Amino acid sequence: MNAVPSPSHFLRPAVEPLDRPAARADDATVEIEFRGVSKRFPTRRHPDAAPVVRDLTLKIRTGEVVSIIGPSGCGKSTLLNMGSGLYAPSEGEVFVGGQRVTGPVPKVAFMLQKDLLLPWRTIRRNVELGPEIAGLPAAERRERATQLLARCHLKGFEDHYPYQLSGGMRQRAALARTLAIDPQVLLFDEPFSALDAQTKMVLQQDLALMLHERGKTALFITHDLVEAAALSDRILVMSPRPGQIIEEIEVGLPYRERPLERRKLPEMGPLVGRLMDLLKVGQDESFH
């Protein structure tokens, strides 16, 4: 039997007033910042090489998940490499956690399309590698690896070697290895692009939940527009080379921690359509 709403129910405003004003970008902690960053790759023959990315300025807040989309060759991986300190900007500055980046940053972890697992180590020993380098005692790093592998649905496979696993399982192991060093910032360069559609969706779900539970900050590069919309708080769209940010989209949809649910929302179609238009997918001047 349906309960009859009390009169006060109808008096309540449709949108409850907030106790405090919503946090603005400037109020929150900025975890990653690019200030006027350009990157060139000069050679002896081409000392005046044109920039690959030009005048990039962006801020990513602590706990935010931001995707970057853009045509092939526009400088997305270059941007990520500068975020991790592997490449130095030619102009401008990069900051992570308020510190200017001048070399590899310990609190940043990278995950790539290729799993890069060491073939001569078991999955568990691959996951233990980062904590081992960091000097964590053996018992502690074993415990951490066991927990993370279970969390990544690899319980029972700890003593397998990478060649004994499927592509999806290897990417799960790579994710466990990335998380094992407990980084505050995670940089993902098309980590799921080699996987089949269903494996990819399940892995996205696991990743999103773990990022949410641990409050991690993530920068995610993908060519998959639905993936960008399903996983992110914000999407940055880059122009063809020299790459610049031409659009910034606040996704504004619920279920960031459950992309399988977000995918089913009716708002997803129009959002992905807008991203397709921005990238001119299927148009004559499409640069894919």
- Report the C-alpha dihedral over residues 138, 215, 250, 85, rounded to 10 degrees: -40
Among 24, 30, 72, 32, which residue's Cα sits nearest to residue 219?
A: 32
Task: Indicate the residue among 78 and 217 with the shorter CB distance to ligand ATP.
Answer: 78
Q: Distance between CA 260 and CA 198 in Å, rounded?
A: 11
Interacting residue with ligand ATP among 67, 78, 122, 171 (CB under 6 A): 78
The interface partner of residue 106, options being ligand ATP, Mg ion, none and the CB cut-off 5 to 8 Å by kind, is none
Among positive and negative, which fits the CA dihedral 195, 192, 226, 54? negative
Write down the least CB distance from residue 243 to ligand ATP, Å: 7
Q: Distance between CA 122 and CA 100 in Å, rounded?
A: 36
Interacting residue with ligand ATP among 60, 66, 69, 74 (CB under 6 A): 74
Residue 162: what residue type? P
Among 204, 190, 175, 236, which residue's Cα sits nearest to residue 32?
A: 236
Interacting residue with Mg ion among 35, 62, 77, 182 (CB under 5 A): 77
Task: Indicate the residue among 70 and 130 with the shorter CB distance to ligand ATP.
Answer: 70
Write down the least CB distance from residue 147 to ligand ATP, Å: 33
Among positive and negative, which fits the CA dihedral 107, 73, 67, 31? positive
Phi-psi label, residue 182: left if phi above 0, alpha if psi -120 to 50, beta otherwise: left
Task: Indicate the residue among 75 and 183 with the shorter CB distance to ligand ATP.
Answer: 75
Contact segment (CB under 6 A) with ligand ATP among 56-64, 73-81, 138-146, 199-207 equals 73-81
Size of interface with ligand ATP, in residues (CB under 6 A): 10
Write down the least CB distance from residue 75 to ligand ATP, Å: 4
Contact segment (CB under 6 A) with ligand ATP among 18-26, 66-74, 133-141, 277-285 equals 66-74
Write down the least CB distance from residue 64 to ligand ATP, Å: 21
Both tokens assigned to 217: 């900050």
Among 148, 138, 143, which residue's Cα sits nearest to residue 179?
A: 148
Write down the least CB distance from residue 53 to ligand ATP, Å: 7
Binding residues vs Mg ion (CB under 5 A): 77
Binding residues vs ligand ATP (CB under 6 A): 41, 52, 70, 72-78
